[in-house]
Amino acid sequence: MKTAILVIPFLLISWIAELNAQVTIAGIYLSANDFINNKLSFKNNKAGVTYQLCAEEQMNSSYIKIMTGNDIIRLKKDSIFGYRNSKHNSFRFYKKTAYEILNPSEPILIYCCASSVTMPASYPEKNYYFSLNPFSPVYPLTKRNLEIVFNKDDRFKELLKVYFHSDDELTVYDSVHKIYYLNRIYDESKLESEEYYEKIREYKSKCGIFY
């Protein structure tokens, strides 16, 4: 009986520690550098809420609202980089529109933005975008736009032609290597010359995902 009394508090402490570890911190990325360094301002901690971020409630507004106690803080979207919500999803503001960042840790950022389609029925349609880095403009994710943005990167442009036959294939995810194929191909374009051309020969000689 004494053993049980000692075990229960230990299990309770472990459960509380695990619960706290699962808390997701939401907040604001004031700049692109803050996003790169994973630095959040106006943090919203579920274990002891200080700030309440209302970004998703004001998608069509030019600012976002942060509530703290009885006070309201308003930040202009064009003055900050973006935010992270309580589900650990990161968003970037570009021209007052919020773009969800699908791959925060990869070199070429891929974004998703839902638009409302009214015909033939009202439903959200996902559109995909990209940027060269967190500081660069956001463009629709197409082969043509990638070739324009990477106009001086001949190796990468060559691989785009080899592996991607349509714009839809640009959002394919490599679940084995945990990376979007677009960025996997981009990484391979940076290999030393011998390794690079060996990859080209290897991929051309076998049936790949896009063939």
Domain ranges within the chain, ordered by starting residue: 24-87
Q: Can you give the pLDDT at residue 86?
A: 84
Residues shown for the chain: 211
Q: d(Cα 163, Cα 19) in Å, to the nearest integer?
A: 44
Determine what percent of the chain is predicted with pLDDT higher than 70. 69
Q: d(Cα 79, Cα 89) in Å, to the nearest integer?
A: 20
Question: Per mean pLDDT, which of 12-16, 44-48, 113-117 is the most reliable?
Answer: 113-117
How much is the pTM?
0.76
Upper half-sphere CA count for residue 132 (Cβ side, 13 Å): 13
DSSP 151-184: TT-HHHHHHHHHH-SSGGGGG-EETTTTEEHHHH
Q: d(Cα 176, Cα 37) in Å, to the nearest integer?
A: 26
Q: Can you give the pLDDT at residue 22?
A: 44
Q: Can you give the pLDDT at residue 196?
A: 59
Q: What mean pLDDT is predicted for residues 58-77?
A: 83
pLDDT class of 12 with cuts at 50, 70, 90: very low
Q: d(Cα 190, Cα 210) in Å, to the nearest integer?
A: 21
29, exposed or middle or buried, with CB in 10 Å at 0-12, 13-18, 19+? buried
Q: Can you give the pLDDT at residue 53?
A: 78
Q: What mean pLDDT is predicted for residues 179-195?
A: 86
Distance of CA 49 to the CA centre of its chain: 25
Bigger pLDDT: 81 or 202? Answer: 81
Is the predicted pLDDT of residue 159 greater than 80, yes or no?
yes
